[in-house]
A and B are shown apart, each in its own frame.
Chain A
Amino acid sequence: MDFTSRIFQLALYGIVSGSIITLGAIGLSLTYGILKFANFAHGDVMATGAFLALIFLNLFQRLALPSSPFHPLSFGLPLVLAFILCMVATGGVAIGIDSALYKRLRGTRSITLLIASVGVAFILRNVLQFIWGPDPRYYIKKIQVSVRLPILGLRIKHDQVFIIIVAACLVIFLHFFLTRTRMGKAMRATSDNMDLAKVSGIDTEKVIKWTWVIGSALAAAGAVLAGIDNKFITPSFGWDMLLPIFAAVILGGIGSPYGAMLGGMVIGLSSEISTAFIATSYKPAVAFIIMVVMLLIKPRGLLGEK
């Protein structure tokens, strides 16, 4: 493989990981926009989603649901159902955490919420580790062979095409939700100005609940897609995602879900492409450096406002 096609190959992988980062970053950006605090537990919420999917997956396999894979994908109905259910369940977990903790701290300084979220991050991660242990847990045992595309000899797996399509659908769905529905518009309004939303009669507590549900469901979706891509999940997944999703949010502009999409793609692409030049183990550092450069030149991010 020559250098150009290698770069394009990495870019293709970059789109896959960018899709996953985007789904994580959107939720982070939504809660940032509305609750005005950086939720450091968001990565671990993602990981929680991935493990909730594992519970459902095991359940469906035990229920002897037809589990033959959807050709040409490497997984079948149980994982698809688990995917959908875990989004709902993760939304529920997020609302639970909110009403147990964040809600009681609302009205204090946003930094208190941030500290609380760091605590939540450690609690979630260790609950996962307590139950499932630190070793990888597998969604899919089968190995999938990648197919060759007619251009530049690029290769991609069917599962990865699935990941990109699902992520794109979710993003489009979110766009319609935010621009076409009453609740979506209320979310944007609350993000713009919570006090004004209150005096307009918007039930901001309800908006906050919806924000947690949507953000966490998308986070869970991203985590499961990552699990499909890697075949396995670990409790430390959330920590590994933290820098990329924060970098994506800051790059795109805090509070802007569209910025988060753009940022997610840029981070995914640049992290993957960087491996052509530097050691793979430094991938998380690339996201960080892009973020710092952004902070230096345009702290409000590419699409940031205010």
Chain B
Amino acid sequence: MEAFIGILNYAVFFAITAGIFAVLCLGLNIQWGYTGLFNIGIAGFYAVGAYTSALISGPPPGPMDWRVVGGFQLPWPVGFVGAALVSGLIAFIIGIPTLKLKEDYLAIATIGIAEVIRLIIKNESWLTNSVWGIKHITSPLALPIERGIRALLRANPGFPLWLQRLVSNGYNWFYLGMVVLILLLLYGVSEKMIRSPWGRVLRAIREDEIATSTAGKNIFWFKMQSLVFGAMIMGMAGSLYAHYARFIDAETFEPFFGTFLIWVMLIVGGSGNNLGAILGAFTIWGVWAGTEFLTHGWGLTGYRAASLRVISVGVILEFILLLRPRGILGEEKVVSFIFKKERR
């Protein structure tokens, strides 16, 4: 029973992280899956969201910190909304010079902005505490819930060990519920938008930009809205992460975890399909966790284990591209395309 609770607690931890990745995938799916915007700087928007939220809702700088601003300790929803807004703003700024250009330019521009954001996090210690990171970020309702759990355990000293373990993990259950709720909400909103006339225009842009523009649609603004909307979701994921991990630094948002893994998740799940995005996130996060057991089993540790795990994810991506480019679920045919691309 205790072993089972151990696994259950691990499963909760796993699901929270996978859920946050799923939120990121939904954001990317709007940009890439539905509009064809090639954003490989997800880590930047994710990090901006995390830091914004930590600065708004997190603790003030401690005596050992270099950081001098932030830590307004506002309620978490304020930080959450702030994260979305600031990420969206950054997306808006980066979209201005790049959205009129070919997709490759957007790719390199987003990777560039992510790198600049990483440099800022590393160097501007007054704002981000640089490499020391922001510690002790408060989790929403953590205080009352944990106080309640302690009171419950004190009042029932006779609980068997497994029940004690289950109950002490209560906050994670709460957080999981929150992540799932937000994920479902975003899924619903995203599905609704994608099926609206607005979403149809996005897909038309992805299929054939020129035909869509001759149909009188302002491509630039539609792309901008998609980029900003997707980035806002990524910012929200950042906020969810920061308040769960309670610690963030520049390394948290390195290109592999912040960007590449999310791309693999979406492609494996099936871009252009919101369910696929979520499925991909859980699958690949499962694979990622599984590789840890494997490398552990082979006696690999440290950088060797980490490298091998990254290589295996890379190889999975290449195989998917070669053998099943549409991913597990493939694209969902929502409505017939307005324009069928006609090749000359």
Contact = CB atoms under 8 A, between A and B. Distances in A.
Contacts, number: 115
Interface in A104-144: 104-105, 108, 110-112, 114-116, 118-120, 122-123, 125-127, 129-130, 133-134
Nearest to A300: B101
A250 B255 CA distance: 22
Contact of A239 (B36, B107, B112, B255): B255
Interface stretch (B215-223, B286-294, B305-313, B331-339): B305-313
A120 B310 CA distance: 11
A8 interface: no
B322 interface: yes
**Secondary structure class of chain A's binding surface, majority of residues:** helix
A219 interface: no
A291 interface: yes
Interface residues of B, number: 42
Contacts of A246: 108, 112
B12 to A, nearest CB: 29
A101 B322 contact: yes
Contacts of B38: 111, 114
A292 B96 CA distance: 10
B122 interface: yes
B105 interface: yes
Contact of A119 (B101, B116, B318): B318
Contacts of A104: 322
A38 B311 contact: no
- Interface centre among B107, B256, B318, by most chain A C-beta atoms within 10 angstroms, is B318
A75 interface: no
Report, as a range, how many residues of chain A touch the other chain.
35 or more
Contacts of A299: 100-101, 105
Nearest to A104: B322
A296 interface: yes
B256 A291 contact: no
B181 interface: no
A285 B101 contact: no
B303 interface: yes
Contacts of B122: 281
A112 B306 CA distance: 26
Given A242-B111, A292-B109, A115 B97 contact: no
B123 A282 contact: yes
Interface of B: 36, 38, 40, 97-98, 100-101, 103-105, 107-109, 111-113, 115-116, 119, 122-123, 255-256, 260, 263-264, 267, 303-304, 306-308, 310-311, 313-315, 317-318, 321-322, 325
